Structure 1
Amino acid sequence: MDILTTRTLRYTDEGGGEEEKEVVLTIFQPFEQDPWDWVCVFDFEPPIKPRNVRARGFDLIRAFLHCLTYARLTFETTSWSKTGHWQGSRDCGLPAKAEGPLPLQPPEIPPPESNPGSLEVFATRKLARPDETGAAAELLLTVYEPYPTESGTWKCPFAFGPAETTPIRHGMGADFIEAALDGLALARAIYASMLPEGWAPPESGDLLDCDDLPIKIGRSFSMGRPTP
């Protein structure tokens, strides 16, 4: 399997020593096993059992988010998690399912930028959006591969439209994972702002929504639903 990205977590042993040790989380490139069945695998080094855990989803985005969520749950089963962190964040910068509804805190939406037309596509999703009659019409969400900037931060561009022509916005972060989560959280907020109050996509059909994308609270990410 090809490696998509890695993240180094740090911890100190219980009961002795201040020297931090490292645990490397590896996320492998998601792949489509069957129609509407994507797989994303993660592993830890030093090993945490079970090894090479498979997370699934109906598309690449869903499988990737499930993978990050399961990776956090797996790390939290170890004694390392008692002192573990990523850049000081005890949640290791990984999303978790909320135990209850979350307050809606819409992020500030930056203005769009011109699309250079040379970005590499990471994932797409066909969303439902109402047309003039209120019927569901297709809206394409394109998420591009996160990339590092000269300053050391990462950007995750995304657009609502065709890959090479639609203006883009960016998620930002300290690595691939944080930039991707930030971009997906921003995409969720923008999509919600496009929908009339009370409108929802039809339950049947191939068009989806963004309700499974993360919500950002501070520097943390939750997979819960906001409080109306």
Structure 2
Amino acid sequence: MKFRYLLFVILFSFLTSAKAVAQDSHTTNTERKWYLPDHAVIQFAGNIGLLSIGPGYSYAKDKVNTDVLYGYVPAFESHSGIHLLTAKTSYRPFLIDLSNGFLLEPLKVGAGVSYSYGSQFYTTWPKRYPDRYYWWASSLRFTPFIGSTISTKIGNDHTIIKRVQLYGELGSTDLDIVSKLDNKSLPLWDVINIAIGSKVVF
């Protein structure tokens, strides 16, 4: 189980982190190298850190976005803070032009894989735990989400920043979803998280 879980994470991270070379996106007509990001992200909450930041890439005619984010949760009352690394990919099926440079993405769906670093997290459980005592790895979370986005144009083809985007997401984790399926009385809002964020598009 551990090997299959780890294999899935590696495969997912590879697929979501790879940027299509022959892309058809808003960056097609620029001279930017393929490995340079198409946008930068800052996000509040969403089970990937109290605050997370990182670069992102757009491909498939801008319908698919992949973000690689570093997140941090302060210590608060615990002994140490939590550092997280997340790869998340989203897909938006359609786009609405609101005119005056505003674009609305009423629906986007996606998922990510989040890795939490720290001595309190385990990718493989220590020997003191019986084999298969826990089916999950405490350091890894699968994070599906849905959301929507609105953006406005603030530049042109000759400026560094071309568009600013605001988004909101409703999400959960694999562990929360299983908990809800096992315990029908668990309130839905106990397994759902809310995230808000912003992107600057280059």
Question: Is TM more than 0.5 here?
Answer: no
More strand by share: 2
With normalisation by structure 2, the TM-score equals 0.29
Taking CA–CA contacts closer than 8 Å with sequence separation of 6 or more, which of the two structures ends up with the larger relative contact order?
2
